[in-house]
Structure 1
Amino acid sequence: MIKRRLKSFDYSLLIVYVLLSIFGLIMVYSASMITSIQIYEVESNFFFKRQLMFLMLSYVMCIVAAILPYKKYKNNIFLMVMIFMMFALLIGLFLRGQTVNNATSWISIMGVSFQPAEFVKLALIIYLAAVYSKKQPYINDFNKGVVPPVVILCLFCFLIVLQPDVGTAAIIFATGAIIVFCAGMNWKNLFKLSGIGIFLIFIFVSVMSLTGHSFITETRMARFTSFMDPFKYELDEGLQLVNSYVAIGSGGLTGVGLGKSIQKLGYLPEAHTDFIMAIIAEELGVLGVGFVLFCLGFIVLKGFHLGMKCKDAFGSLLAFGISGLIGIQTFINLGGVAGLIPITGVTLPFVSYGGTSLMVLSICIGLLMSVSSRANLEMKEKEKLDS
C-alpha cells in the first residue's frame, strides 16, 4: 500500500515547491543581511538561519500532510475543534497580542510568536471544502446549504479586519468566495449571496464610522494616495513604492548580480518580506522574476487542474481553495510591489521571510499531493476495472 502511494504522488509539484522554497531562502539571505546588521543589530545571517529552521520544519509538515489521507480532515469533531481553536486564537490577539506595524496580528505562546491569521487561511479552506462537499445534495437550498458556512467565513474575516489586517482578510474572503463558487450552487444563489455581502460591508463601514472607529483611517488613506502618485510622497508614504520601482528598473534582463542590490542597503524597507520581489528583479532581473512566476504559476495551475480532475467533492474543493489562496496572495503581493494596487503588507508565497506563512503554505502543498495521490489511485483502479 505504501509503495502504491509513493508511486501515485505528483513529484513535479513537490520538485517545483522545493526549488522555489530554496530559491526563497537564498533571496531572504541576500535581501536581509544588511538589514540584520543596520536595523536589528544582529549577525548578517540571522534571518537566514531562522528561515532555514522554519523551512526544514515545513518540509516535515509537507510530507506528513501528503502521507495522511486528506479525507480524515472531513471528520465533524475535527472540524469543530479546528474552528474553535482558530476562533480562540483570534480572540486571544485582543487579550495578549503583539502589535507590529500598527496591527495586532502576532501572538506569543510559550515563547514562540506566530500569526494566527495564517493558520485561519488553511483552517477555513478545509472547513468550507468539507462542509460544502457534505451539502452537495441540497447545495441550492439557500438557507440550509449556502448561508451557514458563509457566516463563519464572515465572522473570521471581521475579527481579522479588527486587528487591523485588511490584506489578509481580503485574501481569506476571496479564497472562500472561490470555494463557494466552485461548490456548484446556482447563479441565483450566488447573486443573492453577493448582494447580501455588499449590504453587510456597507453596514459594517457605517457602524464603524458612527462609533468613531472610521474604517478609512489616515494610514489607509496614505497607502491609497501614495499608490496613486508615489513620487509626490516619495519621502514618506511613497518611499517603499518609489524604491521598488528603482530596484525593478535597475535589474534589466539578468540583474546586477546576486547579493549586489543597492536598494537593500537601507533604501527599501521590508526588503526581505513584502518587497522581496523587487530585490529579485534588481539582482537577477527578468530571468529571476520569470523563474518565480513560473514556479508559482505552475503550482496554481496544477492545483486547479487537480480540482477539475478529482472526482471527490471534498478533494476537488480543497484543491480549488489552496490554488486560489496561493494565486490571490501572489497577485496581491506583486500588485503592491509593482504599484498596481495599494500596499497591503502581504508576503510572497514560499519566497518572503516568514515562518508561519511558509509552514502553512507547505502544509497546503502536502494536501495537494495527498489529493493528487488519491485521484491517481482511483483513476488507475478505474482503468483496471474497465480493462
Structure 2
Amino acid sequence: MNGTVRGRPDFLLLFLILLLVGFGMVMIFSASSATAYYKYGSPLYYVYKQGIFALAGFIIMLFFMAIPYPFWKKTAPFLLVFSLLLLVLVLVAGVNINGAKRWFVVGSFNFQPAEFSKLAIIVYLSAMISKKGPKFQSFRRGLLPLLLMIGFMLLLVMKQPDFGTVMILAFISCSILLVGGVNLRHFALLCIAVIPLFVFLAVSKSYRFKRLSSFLNPFENQSDSGYQLIQSLYALGHGGFTGTGLGKSVQKLFYLPEAHTDFIFAVIGEEMGFVGSSLFLLVFFLFIWRGFITAVRSQDPFAHMLGMGIVSMIFIQFLLNLGAVTGMLPITGVPLPLTSYGGSSLILCMACTGILLNISRDNHRRRLDQQQASQSAR
C-alpha cells in the first residue's frame, strides 16, 4: 500500500452534518413561514434562501474534503491577509444594519466577513504553531507575534461592532494555543491581562450591558431587554415533555423575535418538547464527538490543531447559543451552528467540516498503510 491511496472519509461525520442541516431546514420553515408570508408573501422565502446556502455549502464541503489538508498550511498567510482586508473593507463599504457594519449585501443575499475570519485564524494559528515547534515555548519569538495578530483581528471585528464574534475568536485562539502546547505560565498571565479588558468591553456600552445583565432577571425589563429571553422561556415551557407538534409553535407567531435565526432552539423545544430537544442535542454532541475523534487521531501536529480549532469553533457557538436561549448565558447574537437561518454561518461550518472529513480520510489512509506494513513484515 503506498501513500497515493485515498483514504475513506468518516461517513458517520458526513451523515451527521447532513442530518443536522436537513433538520435545520425543516425547523427554519416551521419557525419562519408566518413571518415570511407576512413580509414577502411567501412562506417559503427563508427556507428557499437557506436551501441555496445549503447547496452551496454542500458543494464547498465536498470540494474541501478533496483538498489535502497540507494545502491550508501553505496558504495560511494568504488566508489571514485576505480575511483582514475583508474586515477592513466591510468597515468602509459594508452595509449598516441596526447600527452595525458587518455585512456585504449583494441583491437579497448577505455575506458576513467575520465568519471567514474564524477559519482564517484557525488555519493561521495551526500553521504558525506547527512551524515554530519548540520555539513556541518562547514568549517573545513564539507567542507574542501570534498575540499581536490575534489582537489586530479582534480589534477590527470589535469596530463593526460584533462582540459575540470577538468572544468566539478569542475562545478559538485560546483552544488552539492550549492544544499547540503554549507555556501555561504565559497563558495564565495572558488570561489575567485579557479578562479585565473583556469585562470592560462588555459593560462599556449601555446596550451591551443590558444584554449581558438582562439574563440574570429578564422579568425586570419585560418589554425591553428581557423580552426576547422571556418569550424564549415561554416557548420552552410550552413545549413540555413531548412538544406541541411540528409546525404548531405559538411563540413563532410574531411573539419571539429572531425565531428562525438565533432563537430557533426555542421553537425546537416548543414543537419537539424535552424528548425531541434531547434527541437533537444527542445528535449534535455525537457530531462534536466524531470531529474531536478525527482531530485526536491525526498524527500530524498541524492537522491535530486544525481539527481541534474547527471543533472548538462549532462547539463554542453551540454553547453560546444554547446558553442564551435557555437563559443560562447572556444573549450575544450567535446563531445555532448548522441549524439556524444564515448563509455565512452555514457555509463556513460546512466548509470546515469538509476539512475535517479530509483529515479523517488521511487518518484512514495512514491506518491502511500501517496494516499493509504490518502484513508485509510478517
Contact 2:295 2:356 in 1 (8 A): no
Counterpart selection for 1:157 from 149, 154, 159: 154
List gaps (5 residues or longer) in structure 2. Answer: none
- Provide Cα deviations, 1:46-66, integer angstroms capped at 9, x if missing partner: 001000011011110110111
Q: CA RMSD in A?
A: 2.1
Question: 1:232 corresponds to which residue?
Answer: 220
Shift of 1:245: 0.6
Q: Per-residue CA shift, 1:22-56, capped at 9, x if unaligned?
A: 00001001100111123x23311100100001101
Query: Alignment partner for residue 106 of structure 1, among 103, 107, 110?
Result: 103
Q: Which amino acid counterpart does residue 309 of structure 1 have in structure 2?
A: R
After TM superposition, the structure 1 = structure 2 runs for residues 115-264 of structure 1, keeping only pairs within 5 Å, are: 115-198=112-195, 201=197, 205=200, 216-264=204-252
Indicate whether 1:26 and 2:26 are aligned.
yes
Tell me the TM-score normalised to structure 2 length: 0.94
Given that 1:223 and 1:237 are in contact with CA atoms closer than 8 Å, whether structure 2 keeps it comes out as: yes
Local SS of the residue matching 1:72: helix
Partner of 2:266: 278
Indicate the residue corresponding to 2:314 in structure 1: 326
Deviates more, 1:255-264 or 1:183-192: 183-192
Q: CA deviation at 1:195?
A: 3.7
How far does residue 98 in structure 1 lie from its aligned partner after superposition? 1.5
Match of 2:104, SS state, is strand
CA contact (8 A) 2:172 2:313 kept: yes
Cα distance, 1:215 vs. partner? Answer: 5.6
Q: Which moved more, 1:365-374 or 1:80-89?
A: 80-89
Aligned residue for 1:106, secondary structure, equals strand
Measure, in 2, the Cα distance between the counterparts of 1:160 and 1:372.
32
CA distance in 2, matches of 1:286, 1:2: 48
Q: 2:77 aligns with which of 76, 80, 99?
A: 80
One-letter identity of the residue aligned with 2:299: K
Percent identity of paired positions between Structure 1 and Structure 2: 35
Give aligned pairs, total: 374
Among candidates 93, 97, 106, match of residue 94 of structure 2: 97
Contact 2:125 2:173 in 1 (8 A): yes
Query: By how many angstroms is 1:139 displaced?
Result: 2.0
CA distance in 1, matches of 2:108, 2:267: 31
In structure 1, runs of 5+ residues without a counterpart are: 209-213
Query: 1:154·1:173 contact (CA, 8 Å) conserved in 2?
Result: no
| 8 Å Cα contact 1:299-1:323 kept in structure 2 | no
Superposed displacement of residue 112, structure 1: 4.8
Per-residue deviation, residues 245-266 of structure 1 (Å, max 9, x unmatched): 1100011222101111100110
What one-letter code is carried by the residue in structure 1 that aligns with 2:246? L
Write the distance in 2 (CA, Å) between the matches of 1:42 and 1:365. 35
Is contact 2:13–2:291 with CA below 8 Å preserved after alignment?
no
Match of 1:58 in 2: 57
- Please give the alpha-carbon distance, in whole angstroms, between the structure 2 residues aligned to 1:262 and 1:216: 36
Q: Could you tell me how far 1:363 is from its partner in structure 2? A: 0.6
Q: Pick from 287, 300, 304: which aligns with 1:312? A: 300
In the alignment, structure 1 residue 368 sits paired with structure 2 residue 356: yes
> Which residue does 2:324 correspond to in 1?
336
